[in-house]
Amino acid sequence: MNNFFRGIIAAYGAKKLGGGCFSTVIIFIIIWVLLGKCNNESRASTQPVHPTVVVGK
């Protein structure tokens, strides 16, 4: 997610959830950080398995 859409979503959420000026800024920062965490690739991604070939005994 690029920063423009991340900012739009965070601003909309902060406007809906925030009560005053200070709480709106805090909620914006929290949503911004959480959306940034969603952008990271999974660390548990699997690596391709290369089969070993056994030739004769």
Average pLDDT over residues 39-52: 67
- Residue 6 three-state SS: helix
pLDDT at res. 25: 93
Question: Tokens for 36?
Answer: 């940034």
Predicted local confidence at residue 37, as pLDDT = 86
Q: What is the pLDDT of residues 6-44, one digit of tens each?
A: 999 999 999 999 889 999 999 999 999 999 887 666 556
Distance CA 19, CA 10 (A): 15
What confidence category does residue 55 fall into, taking pLDDT thresholds of 50, 70 and 90? confident
- Asked if residue 54 has pLDDT above 90, the reply is no
